[in-house]
Structure 1
């Protein structure tokens, strides 16, 4: 079973990663020229956090796995939004 502290730490990581990604997403949608390096960093952080969630799931109990699944869905949704935004930005 994953410890409460490790679950809380991962939850904070997910929140911070999504917050950073949302900032980059908003900036890219408002500006034709946005900081591509920050955008790429946000995508990389999302992927790393996704991998961290998957790793944690191996030692989680049923309730924790459900919580991790919800976190994973949040990360995937943000990844999808950013990837779609990136492809639209490249078409301008």
Structure 2
């Protein structure tokens, strides 16, 4: 079972990654252009966090796995949105 601290730390990492990615997405939408480095960094942070969630799921109990699954879906949705936006810019 994953420890409560490790789950809390991962949840904070997810929130931080999402906040940063959403900020980059908003900036790119408003400016109709985006900073390649920051946008790419945000996408990479989402991917790294996704991988961390996957690793954590191996030692999680069923309730934690469900929570991790929801976080993974949230990250994937934002990744997909950003990738599609990046193609349109």
TM-score normalised by the chain length of structure 2: 0.98
Q: In the TM superposition, what are the counterparts of 1:12-91 in structure 2 within 5 Å?
A: 12-89=12-89
Q: Stretches of 4+ moved more than 2 A in 1? A: none
Per-residue deviation, 1:7: 0.2
SS in 1 for 2:21: helix
Per-residue deviation, 1:33: 3.0
Segment drifting more, 30-39 vs 45-54 = 30-39
Per-residue deviation, 1:34: 2.1
How many Å separate the matches in 1 of 2:37 and 2:68?
28
Residues 1:7 and 2:2 are matched in the alignment: no
SS in 2 for 1:50: helix
Aligned residues: 89
Q: Structure 1: which 5+ residue stretches go unaligned?
A: none
RMSD: 0.6
